């Protein structure tokens, strides 16, 4: 569920694979997974736009250990020397095909590193566009993904006109994590945590201010949802 807090191991367990590579196209044929970070020292320039409803995700470099000594000055590869597509190439092709209507947009689960060992599940995004552009040194891939409501059941085909969704900004998540000391505000539990909107977004609550977001464990999150219903 979107806004859950996970460790790296929990994340890999959920996806049934090591997510070391950061970009993982077509896992089990049902969806893709990307890891993002907007931290100042992050290796790639990912950014959230349009009030947190759009993710612009940077493609990935030549892998370490290849013949390249500094991957940051080399064009990001779309294919391997053998000609088969890299992860950049696979996401790019899917995005271009979605753009022309040749296929439905790929559903992508996005996980965000908010600090060392702490990840947040940012929910389902649709891969709707991609391009290549020049940075200071070389050509990089860019992918445009749209945060959408629901779509968590991967066995059901994606809907045609999904409802847009807003991701809680990273700075807000960090502030809440520190303020609540990484614990459920109700019981102090430190596992299965969730960033909860005190006043739900659907009822006019904001996700842009830490004052309206708190940490709840799964039990208290569900209890609150039931109470609201
Ligand atoms: Zn609790």
**Domain boundaries defined on the chain:** 5-167, 172-228
Q: Report the topology of domain 5-167.
A: PUA domain-like (2.30.280)
- How far away, in angstroms, is 167 Cα from ligand 1 center? 23
What is the H or E stretch that residue 225 is in? helix 218-228
- How far away, in angstroms, is 190 Cα from ligand 1 center? 8
Name the residue among 184, 202, 201, 185 with its Cα closest to residue 193.
Answer: 184
Torsion of CA 93, 108, 88, 97, to 10 degrees: 10
Name the residue among 168, 210, 218, 212 with its Cα closest to residue 190.
Answer: 218
- How far away, in angstroms, is 17 Cα from ligand 1 center? 29
- How far away, in angstroms, is 220 Cα from ligand 1 center? 5
- How far away, in angstroms, is 69 Cα from ligand 1 center? 48
- How far away, in angstroms, is 123 Cα from ligand 1 center? 22
Residue appearing with tokens 């809907």: 159
Residue-by-residue pLDDT tens, the chain, 229 positions:
789 999 999 999 999 999 888 999 999 888 999 999 998 889 999 999 998 899 999 999 987 766 778 888 999 999 998 999 999 999 999 999 999 999 999 999 999 999 888 999 999 999 999 999 999 999 999 999 999 987 777 777 777 778 888 899 999 999 999 999 999 999 999 999 999 988 877 788 888 899 999 999 999 999 988 887 7
Is there a contact between 19 and 110 (Cβ–Cβ < 8 Å)? no
- How far away, in angstroms, is 86 Cα from ligand 1 center? 42
**What is the per-residue pLDDT for 122?**
95
CA pair distance 36, 41, nearest whole angstrom: 12
pTM attached to this predicted model? 0.93
- How far away, in angstroms, is 30 Cα from ligand 1 center? 32
Q: Give the bridge partners for 221, in sequence order.
A: none
């Amino acid at each position: 569920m979107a806004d859950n807090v996970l460790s790296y191991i929990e994340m890999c367990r959920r996806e049934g694979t090591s997510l070391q590579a950061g970009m993982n196209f077509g896992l089990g044929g049902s969806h893709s997974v990307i890891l993002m970070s907007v931290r100042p020292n992050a290796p790639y320039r990912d950014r959230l736009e349009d009030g947190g409803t759009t993710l612009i995700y940077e493609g990935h470099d030549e892998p370490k250990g290849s013949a390249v000594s500094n991957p940051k000055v080399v064009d990001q590869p779309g294919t391997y020397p053998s000609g088969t597509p890299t992860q950049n190439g696979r996401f790019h092709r899917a995005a271009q095909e979605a753009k022309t209507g040749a296929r439905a947009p790929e559903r992508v689960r996005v996980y965000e590193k908010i600090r060392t060992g702490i990840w947040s599940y940012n929910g389902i995004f649709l891969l709707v566009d991609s391009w290549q552009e020049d940075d200071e040194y070389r050509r990089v891939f860019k992918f445009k993904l749209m945060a959408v409501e629901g779509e968590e059941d991967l066995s059901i085909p994606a809907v045609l006109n999904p409802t847009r969704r807003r991701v809680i900004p990273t700075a807000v998540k960090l502030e809440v994590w520190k303020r609540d000391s990484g614990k459920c505000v109700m019981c102090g539990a430190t596992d299965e945590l969730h960033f909860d909107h005190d006043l739900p977004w659907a009822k006019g609550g904001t996700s842009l201010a830490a004052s309206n977001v708190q940490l709840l464990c799964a039990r208290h999150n569900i209890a609150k949802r039931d109470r609201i219903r």
